[in-house]
Amino acid sequence: MILYINACVRRESRTRRLAETLLSRLEGQVQTVDLNTAELPILTEATIDERTVAAKAKELTNPLLRYAAQFAAADTIVIAAPFWDLSFPAVLKRYLESVCVTGVTFRYSSEGIPIGMCRAKTLYYVTTSGGPLLKDYGYDYVEGLCSGMLGIPECVCFSAEKLDIWGVDVEAIMAEAQQRILDSFK
């Protein structure tokens, strides 16, 4: 199963266009989580305590574990998130907080080292930016979280940048980025 996490806000999202190119090359059933409409829990002391109890009891149907169980079971993960303020939209952080659950997506070794429990072998991160991507703290965060904590061995970033610079050929930049995605599957 391919898990597609859509953090694109705009209806005519360039990031979504790139993600759709990628999804057209992946084989398998796609489950989409649209973060614009997803009912993400607000983590408070009470919900964290409830989530911990549910995770210890392996109650994966509990609404507080829904996204973590889905993420852990995915074979491939695609995150589409525009580059905002050196990172990504805040709703993606809220989603990732829902995903990081001890006993569902990771556990700790006896030495306190996180051991990933996710099935996915590859996570694809797709982004676009209006200016240059000098430092993408969004992808760096997701890559660190997924490879270092959740056990996903390969993280790949596809991007198109400088799309809002006056005078650039946006469609040429997008076509080049889409071609890079297509070429990676040859």
What is the token pair recorded at 155? Answer: 């993280």
Q: What is the DSSP letter of 105?
A: T
Q: Is the pLDDT of residue 133 over 90?
A: no
- Could you give the C-alpha distances from 57 to 46, 73, 112, 169, 186, in angstroms and in order? 17, 18, 21, 54, 44
What is the residue extent of each domain of the chain? 2-183
Report the alpha-carbon distance of residue 130 to residue 164 in Å, rounded: 4
pLDDT tens by residue, 68-87: 999 999 999 999 999 988 88
Report the alpha-carbon distance of residue 105 to residue 172 in Å, rounded: 39
The full length of the chain comes to 186
CATH topology of domain 2-183: Rossmann fold (3.40.50)
pLDDT-derived band of residue 8, with 50, 70 and 90 as boundaries? Answer: very high
Q: Is the pLDDT of residue 92 over 90?
A: yes
What sign results for the dihedral spanned by CA atoms 33, 34, 37, 38? Answer: positive
pTM, 2 dp:
0.94
What is the token pair recorded at 32? Answer: 């989409």
Q: Is the pLDDT of residue 143 over 90?
A: yes
Q: Is the pLDDT of residue 102 over 90?
A: yes
Q: Could you write out the DSSP letters of every residue in 19-87?
A: HHHHHHHS-S-EEEEETTT--PPP--HHHHHHHHHHHHTT-TTSTTTHHHHHHHH-SEEEEE---BTTB
Instruction: Give the amino acid at 35.
Output: L
Burial 107-134 (b: 16+ CB within 10 A, else e): eeeeeeebebbbebeebbbbbbbeeebe
Q: What is the mean pLDDT of residues 91-105?
A: 96
Q: Is the pLDDT of residue 99 over 90?
A: yes
What sign results for the dihedral spanned by CA atoms 2, 100, 96, 128? Answer: negative
pLDDT tens by residue, 10-38: 889 999 999 999 999 999 999 999 999 99
